[in-house]
Amino acid sequence: MEPHGFFTDTSVCIGCKACEVACKQWNQLPADGAYFSGRSYDNTLHLESTTWRHVAFLEHSRQLSGQTTARPFSWLFLSDVCKHCNRAGCLEACPTGALVRTEFASVYLQPDVCNGCGYCVVACPFGVINRREDDGRAWKCTLCYDRQKVGLEPACAKTCPTDSIFFGPVEELKVRAQARLLELHRKGVHEARLYGMTELDQPGTEGLNAFFLLLDRPEAYNLPPEPRVPTKEAGRAWGMMGLAALGMVAAAIAAVRAGGEE
């Protein structure tokens, strides 16, 4: 089966949160964020165990190129979601097999197998996965695996009124993303860039199956500029520990010899 995923074009997102609501409704997720956070109009703040799509409201301190009216700031919107990484730290860290790779190349978390250890939580470089307070188990976006199995697109993409969220075969989405990037550059929006589309762009995750078109640096959207899967660094870390241990042994031997000579 050909890998499927998301291409999210933030340049046409209007912050309506329809995707967020559709995700909650379809997946029967409990309500949260029913308060005024003080962070602009963002009440849910970040991805959570009960919020698998999160629309971030970001007040940008400068005007974007291509805008014709003078404004003290610009709005940046981002409909964030699990990235379904090609190399997924959560999947590699899971000791129970609760996290699996589906036939669509998405990373699916089986709640009936999860033991709530939390290893996946700390292994995700994007802070996507969290545990619920009521049962302690981890939860995240499933890429609407149940809908995909019957030929339907995920609820968030189906609901988006501006076609900010595209769903389909990843290779087709990459072509669409490149065309959209060139279009924006021709229109003078030189800040536009793609995030996470290829392994060259993100060697630490070997590319994402849910990637984005951004209108500023990733940091402006609270996205890590160079995310790295912790398990990818494990070999290097053990190697450094081995060198340190050899150094300590060599120092100890030298000290013993020096003491014997005295």
What confidence tens digit (pLDDT) does each residue in 51-89 have? 999 999 988 776 666 555 556 667 899 999 999 999 999
Confidence of residue 118 (pLDDT cuts 50, 70, 90): very high
Binding residues: 13, 16, 19, 23, 82, 85, 90, 94, 114, 117, 120, 124, 141, 144, 156, 160
- Determine the average pLDDT of the residues in 186-193: 94
Binding residues for [4Fe-4S] cluster: 13, 16, 19, 23, 82, 85, 90, 94, 114, 117, 120, 124, 141, 144, 156, 160
- How many percent of the chain have pLDDT more than 90? 69
Tens digits of residue pLDDT in 8-55: 999 999 999 999 999 999 999 988 877 777 766 788 888 999 999 999
Closest alpha carbon to 222 in 45, 33, 31: 45
DSSP character string of 25-85: HHHTPPP---S--SBTTBSS-S-BTTBSEEEEEEEESSPPTT--S--S-EEEEEEEE---B
DSSP character string of 243-262: HHHHHHHHHHHHHHHHHHH-
